[in-house]
Structure 1
Amino acid sequence: MKLACISLALIGLCSTPALSQEACADRDPGVLADFEGDWQSDGNAFGQPAESRMSWAPIMDGCFWRLEYVIDTNPGTEQANTFHGMGTHHHEGSEITGHWVDNWGAMHSLRGSATETELIVYWGEPDAQLGRSRYTLTEDGAIQVTDWILNESGWQQFNDNRFERIED
């Protein structure tokens, strides 16, 4: 009897479909699919001349989307500096959650929402540092990225760049 129960249990485990893989493959990534690829901007960042790049890609069978963000401020000068951040975004319908880390030592939770043309993500914690980023797909196929930080005076914008797709 014990052998029969073990055999039935093993058969059940072996015949169970990979639910998480099927669920991710069937999930509609929405605007994130339009963001996929490499992008560049020559606008200011952090109030300084900058060259910025971002790359969006599905990872883990499409269960998550990775954003890599690099900002070179004051390129070609003695004040040149590189900011490098990476976000992992999990999408469930219009709801977005995830995590952000960067070379300034920040590690933030992400939460936000997505529409057909826009992603708004809040990062950080209300009792510490809190910010938000808006990624808007424009009618001509660019992405407008605007960032704010919450301070005592309210939301202060510190970045607003138009990214063009880098063609292969």
Structure 2
Amino acid sequence: MNIALYGLVDATHAESVAVAVCNVLGYGSNNNAHVLILETAAQETQLGHYLDHTWRSAGMGLTQVDFSTFNWLQNEKFERYQAKVKHAFGVDLMQVQWEELDQSPLLAFIVCRIRYLVVPNPIPTSVNWRARYWKQHYNTQAGKGKPDEYIENAKRYAHYIPQSEQLCTG
């Protein structure tokens, strides 16, 4: 399955990058940050299958990070993770430009993971609760996305979800 959008080769590439990012920035107390950022990409761009035609007016890249969020993170949060990211990936977070997220799954997942790192609540263990977590902390109430869409996109594009998780829309 060739994706070729947002710098991805295929879904396995996305999973490898998500795991690499979490190996550096952490998996969270429930050991599932890689699942959350992959599901976020599944919701935001159908894991690279959907090209957002609102380039520059909405989010950027595989995880659709918006400009104001990127600026906030770069001005207030990137410095905390700078050394780890520089050592592991050779990336100077303070020099990254928002537009670079568009063709770099690595940068998109790094910024996405940092966005979730600032949330004090642990990442939920079920896809239902992660959908709500994404809506509250990533998409916000003003965003168009809905938790039910997140669940459906996670099921369709993020094939690694354990069968034991209940995928209901309640």
TM range (shorter): under 0.3
Name the structure where strand makes up a greater proportion of residues. Answer: 1
Taking structure 2 as the reference length, what is the TM-score of the superposition?
0.23
Taking structure 1 as the reference length, what is the TM-score of the superposition?
0.23
